[in-house]
Structures are given as C-alpha cells and as structure tokens.
Amino acid sequence: MTGRSAVLGCAGLLLLSAPAHALVTVVGAGMAHDCFIAAKSGVNLRAGIAVCNMALAEEMLSARARAGTYINRAVMKSALGQTGDAMADYNSGLSLDPELGDGYVDRGAALITLKRYDEAIADINKGIALGQSYEHVGYYNRGVAEFFLGQVTQSYYDFKKASEIAPDFRPASEQLKNFVVTRVRVPAGQEGAR
C-alpha cells in the first residue's frame, strides 16, 4: 500500500507585489472617517495625510478612533515610501489600542518593506490572532514574508488561504500561479520520512 504526498515547488522567482494593507475602519462623519476613506481609496495620498493630521489635531476622538487614524495615516505614508514616519504612526496607534489586529498586520507590511521578515511575521501572527477586518490580507502578507525567508511551502499555504477567504483578491491568486504542486507516491510507512 502506498501513500500520497505533495511536493511543492516555486516556478522561478515569485514576482511579489507590495504587501497589502488591512486599514482600520473609523466610523462617523468627521475627519477621522475621511482619513479612513482616503487610505482605503489610495488616491491623493498627500491630501489624505493632511486630513488625518487635522483629525488628530482638531477632533475629539475615542482612543480606538485615534489609534485607527494613526494607523490609516501610516498606511498612506507607507504607500509614499515614508516607512520611518509610518512606523512611528503604527507604534503610536498600537500603543493607544494594543488589541487592534489590523494595525499589527499593517505594521507587518511595513516591516516587510524594511526586509525585517521575522518581525513582520510576528506582528502579522498577532494581528491574525486578534482578528482583523480584512482577514485575507494577514494571510497574504504572511505569505510574502515567508517567501522571502525561504519558507516556500508555508508561503504557498498562506496565499492559498488568502485566496479561499477572498476569492476576488487578485494578489493572492496571482501569487498562486507561481507555484507548482506535484503529487508523488511515497511507500507506506515513509510518509513522515525526509
């Protein structure tokens, strides 16, 4: 009797796009909500950062809304390549609300940009454990970090999980095209052998 085992390979170099961002939803009709909308749209980021600045300076915000505004501003700063400033905002937001899973996932994305992959995975794992608004983003970003650490199998499964959670999330489905999964027969009793 024989068992089956999967062998996973990566077809060439993965052409990884930038990590994705989860964002923090801020509800209401004020500037903090406008900051969230600006971060979500990804359009006119400098104007969006200015709105976030005004929200943080002028609005009376709950700790959670203030934390979310810092994190959403950080997402826009990251997109503009201002990673150092973004990290300061991520840290400020997470110090105000350390239970904000989306914030850890977003900070993990910035850590990937800084090539601090182990730290990125730790943050992303914490964000996934805390729960997040855009669950697929956490798995996708962890897959990116794992790939850069040479953890190809784990990377594949995280891209697959992101794609299962959000079938229309193109970055994950595009990354899955770069993998080749082959089934090979393994003699019985040797399934766990390397």
- Output the pLDDT for position 185: 79
**CATH number for the segment(s) 21-133:** 1.25.40.10
Residue spans of the domains in the chain: they are 1-20+135-189, 21-133
Q: Residue 107's pLDDT band (boundaries 50, 70, 90)? A: very high
Partners of residue 180 on adjacent β-strands:
9
What is the spatial distance between Cα 83 and Cα 18, in angstroms, rounded to a whole number?
13
> pTM for this one?
0.82
User: Is the pLDDT assigned to residue 40 strictly greater than 90?
Assistant: no
- Output the pLDDT for position 6: 44
Average pLDDT over the chain reads 85
User: Is the pLDDT assigned to residue 78 strictly greater than 60?
Assistant: yes
User: Is the pLDDT assigned to residue 59 strictly greater than 60?
Assistant: yes
* Pick from 122, 135, 139, 130: nearest CA to 175: 139
What is the spatial distance between Cα 183 and Cα 58, in angstroms, rounded to a whole number?
60
What is the spatial distance between Cα 45 and Cα 75, in angstroms, rounded to a whole number?
9
What is the spatial distance between Cα 158 and Cα 166, in angstroms, rounded to a whole number?
12
